[in-house]
């Protein structure tokens, strides 16, 4: 790092570790972002889209029945799942798609893991009249068919990534490569607060609407600030979106929840901050990555497709190192249990990603002061996970249903 690139960094993390061929596009994006982020027209158009299209502000619900289960009186759920397309991802997608349009681009390319960012990008592109190409790992496409279908219906082209582990990291690489060959007319709409500078900054800022709303909404309930914030961490965009407005306030405890997967061994989870993660440089940035002893990114696992990424936001890596954000993990089993608990106690079906944050809250039961003001980010809703949750909770009914539908389709042919 030198003086010229200091602004790219969060402590030792971040940077712009890309081949020179990406440089012009990243510099163009950086300049455009600095030009438009405070531009009155851009702000007005974005706020209009967030309000009338995405449905913001999303509610902050005081979840009393759920609160009883953890022995706290003041548990709030930030219902990002009620934003259009079902997750917080739309905040960033609309902002970047609008920026792309102001830059004169006609196409966007995006990567997606769980498909939520892909759906949000497809929607934003359709709304703003941009052509959209989404790269998605073949494994994730199988796990998240409803999202694949919805992206296609909104006019996006979904391309199956067959390289490597065929999950999110491979989709990031594929999208970056496609971009490199189409820089003139294409904006790369990166979905999380990571990648080469300026993406971590752009995504964090566009997502921070979550935390700003929370502060205002808590005020209506009579609280000036929360004491505890909980959010799941895949790349880190919903967590940073919630945390960032509160980071200057040391009394607000921020906890990120990683995917504990099926066990503590490398390859069975996506816990970057739990001992297996090491500092590394990949996919255009320096951060903490799950990797082998030689530096190759490691395979990850989580029941939720949106959390199984080998790297993590460089800003979160720095906040962790400074002790400002703490991390814990929830495994597949406890995430599924939390999904069930929240569905039954509040009538809210959370995404499996968000279920990890719910699981962490449940794990804190009895350890917190009853008056603790806690906000859990329900970053998405769980409809998209039916192919994972249904076989788990209703194996026979689900199988019978699929078989009967398959038979019906067969008869109709």
Partner 1 sequence: MNDLFLDKLQAARLKERPLLMTHFVAGYPAMAESRVLAEALAAAGADILECQLPFSDPLADGPSIMQANQQALDNGSTPKSGFALLDGLSARTGCPLIIMSYVNIAYRMGWEKFALACKKAGAYGLLMPDLPLDEGGAEFQDLLAAQGVHLLPVVSPGMEDERLALVLRKARGFIYATLRSGVTGARSGLESSSLDFLRRIHQHSTLPVAAGFGISDKVQIDSLQGLADIVVIGSHLLDLYRTSGLTAVQRFVRSLQS
Cα-flanking dihedrals φ and ψ of residue 412, to 5°?
Answer: -75, -15
Minimal distance, residue 270 CB to partner 1, in Å: 16
Nearer to partner 1, 310 or 374 (CB): 310
Minimal distance, residue 357 CB to partner 1, in Å: 28
Picking from 189, 181, 81, the residue whose alpha carbon sits closest to that of residue 135 is: 189
Both tokens of 49, joined, read 């889209």
Picking from 55, 63, 52, 42, the residue whose alpha carbon sits closest to that of residue 354 is: 63
Asked if residue 10 lies in contact with residue 315, where contact means CB atoms within 8 angstroms, the answer is yes
Minimal distance, residue 361 CB to partner 1, in Å: 34
Residues involved in catalysis: 89, 111, 379
Minimal distance, residue 355 CB to partner 1, in Å: 28
Picking from 141, 121, 91, 64, the residue whose alpha carbon sits closest to that of residue 345 is: 64
Chain residues that interact with partner 1, rule: CB under 8 A: 1-2, 4-5, 15-21, 23-25, 27, 163-164, 169-170, 173, 176-177, 180-183, 278, 280-284, 289, 291, 293-297
Nearer to partner 1, 70 or 317 (CB): 317
Picking from 88, 32, 47, 373, the residue whose alpha carbon sits closest to that of residue 241 is: 88
C-alpha 132/C-alpha 130 separation (Å) is 6
Nearer to partner 1, 292 or 383 (CB): 292
Minimal distance, residue 383 CB to partner 1, in Å: 32
Nearer to partner 1, 76 or 309 (CB): 309
Minimal distance, residue 290 CB to partner 1, in Å: 11
Nearer to partner 1, 5 or 404 (CB): 5
Nearer to partner 1, 24 or 155 (CB): 24
Minimal distance, residue 178 CB to partner 1, in Å: 8
Nearer to partner 1, 282 or 374 (CB): 282
C-alpha 53/C-alpha 212 separation (Å) is 19
C-alpha 40/C-alpha 51 separation (Å) is 16
Minimal distance, residue 356 CB to partner 1, in Å: 25
Nearer to partner 1, 3 or 411 (CB): 3
């Amino acid at each position: 790092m030198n003086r010229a690139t200091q602004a790219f960094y969060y402590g030792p993390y971040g940077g712009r570790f890309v081949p020179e061929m990406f440089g012009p596009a990243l510099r163009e994006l950086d300049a455009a972002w600095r030009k438009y982020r405070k531009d009155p027209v851009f702000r007005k158009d974005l706020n209009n889209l967030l309000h009338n299209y995405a449905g913001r502000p999303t509610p902050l619900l005081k979840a009393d029945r759920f609160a009883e289960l953890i022995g706290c009186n003041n548990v709030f759920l930030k219902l990002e799942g009620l934003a259009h397309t079902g997750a917080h991802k739309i905040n960033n997608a609309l902002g970047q798609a609008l920026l792309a349009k102001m830059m004169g681009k006609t196409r966007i390319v995006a990567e997606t893991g769980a498909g939520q960012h892909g759906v949000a990008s497809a929607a934003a592109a359709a709304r703003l009249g941009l052509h959209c190409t989404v790269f998605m790992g073949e494994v994730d496409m199988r796990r998240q068919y409803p999202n694949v279908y919805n992206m296609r219906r909104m006019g996006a082209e979904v391309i199956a990534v067959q390289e490597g582990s065929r999950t999110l990291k491979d989709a990031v690489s594929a999208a970056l490569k496609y971009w490199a060959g189409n820089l003139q007319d294409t904006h790369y709409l990166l979905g999380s607060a990571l990648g080469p500078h300026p993406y971590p900054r752009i995504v964090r800022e566009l997502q921070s609407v979550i935390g700003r709303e929370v502060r205002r909404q808590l005020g209506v309930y009579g609280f000036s600030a929360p004491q505890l914030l909980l959010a799941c961490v895949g790349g880190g965009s919903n967590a940073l979106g919630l945390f960032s407005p509160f980071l200057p306030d040391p009394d607000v405890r921020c906890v990120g929840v990683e995917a504990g997967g099926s066990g503590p061994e490398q390859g069975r989870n996506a816990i970057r901050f739990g001992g297996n993660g090491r500092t590394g440089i990949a996919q255009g940035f320096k951060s903490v990555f799950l990797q082998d002893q030689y530096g190759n990114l490691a395979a990850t696992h989580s029941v939720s497709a949106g959390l199984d990424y080998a790297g993590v936001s460089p800003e979160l890596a720095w906040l962790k190192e400074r002790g400002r954000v703490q991390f814990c993990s929830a495994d597949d089993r406890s995430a599924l249990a939390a999904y069930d608990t929240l569905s039954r106690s509040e009538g809210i079906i959370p995404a499996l990603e968000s279920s990890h944050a719910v699981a962490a809250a449940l794990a804190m039961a009895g350890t917190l002061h009853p008056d603790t003001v806690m906000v859990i980010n329900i970053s998405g809703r769980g409809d998209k996970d039916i192919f994972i949750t249904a076989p788990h909770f209703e194996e026979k009914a689900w199988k019978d249903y699929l078989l009967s539908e398959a038979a019906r389709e067969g008869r109709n042919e």
